[in-house]
Structure 1
Amino acid sequence: MTRNGKSTGDYLSIEIDQPTKSSAKKRNPAATKDALLDAARTEFQRIGYEAASTRNIASDAGCNAALINRYFGSKIGLFEAVMEECIDLAPLSGLSPNEMVATLADIALGKADPKDDFDPMIIAIKSSGSEEAHDVIRNKLGNPMVKQLAALIGGNDADQKAGMLLSIVSGMFVGRVSVDADALSADNDDVLKVLLNDAMMAVLLSGS
């Protein structure tokens, strides 16, 4: 027997399908936040804070841009959450001054080819022109990195030495990507590594 042109099977099918459609609308907050953070890392690293679009970030995360405000308060709140992931300098622990400088030189030369790896220092450099992002970069990345490296260096003026070393590392990236001079190209890595080693060793041993 049918009603309004539909069989009993049609009504059962509708009733069975309804819970599935309803459950599909449910969103996992933790998964959504993670997806937004992943998309934000990519967007901020690609073009920096100022040029980054919350609409694009949300689209890449597969959700509505309004959820950025819900979970992070604002674009700057999302940026702050991304920059919480400070670079880990623990691998430098226990190294001799020569080994530490050689490792930092390798990091500096690798800044021009970040591939798909997340690197908050690259985000900081590309976002440095933004007044809104400045305090976040200083408080979530700059100062923590200096303190972390200074603790490994030890001795007099450790904070200042750490700041200088990290400035050399970030400066190499700026020189290669922004200035793009042939003299700083990857073809000259052998020469550049020697110069970086000399410059950073001079900082590290200063006053000792």
Structure 2
Amino acid sequence: MINKVSNAIKKEIRKRFEYGEDLKELAYEYKLSYGTLRNLSSKEKWEKGINASILYIKEVEKDIESHIAEREEIVNHYRNLHKATLAYQIELERKKQRPTNKDAETALKTRISSHRENYQFAKELYSIMSPQEEIDYKLRLARYEAYKSEVLAGEKEREVKLDADSVDLKLKKIELKTKERKAKAYGVVVDE
């Protein structure tokens, strides 16, 4: 087991730990001492799973994008079927032909109703939305974006807080050294 940790590996481990991975598993994977990692995480105040919500948001976005692409493909398929049937009907009208055979007319009606039924089934199956449903979805998406920006802002505030804490610590050390120098100047011995 290795007890020294390079900065690059430390950053990677911290990132994964803050996304929710277990410190023992990370120690095993990176062939590091668990005690070293535990002490490092305690010293630097790592918080397990603090970035899990950001990772979840990214996964949700990826999932939404794949569903949108799939729905668009299905809608385009049914749009093409409708155009083909419509073109056939227009061609019949242009030639002033009516299906003379009752079976041909029944077949055309069956094809149109089958497209309609299949489209209704696809709407349910793939969550294809009407214009009103799409507006509602966009409102929910706007709320989601607001939540996402809130979470990401919280992450930035946490980074700023960590930076502010380190600056405060440096200032306190400088202040302590200044007080020690003043005390020595007056002949007061400072216990260390």
TM-score with structure 2 length normalisation? 0.21
Q: Greater relative contact order (Cα 8 A, min sep 6): structure 1 or 2?
A: 1
The structure with the larger Rg is: 2
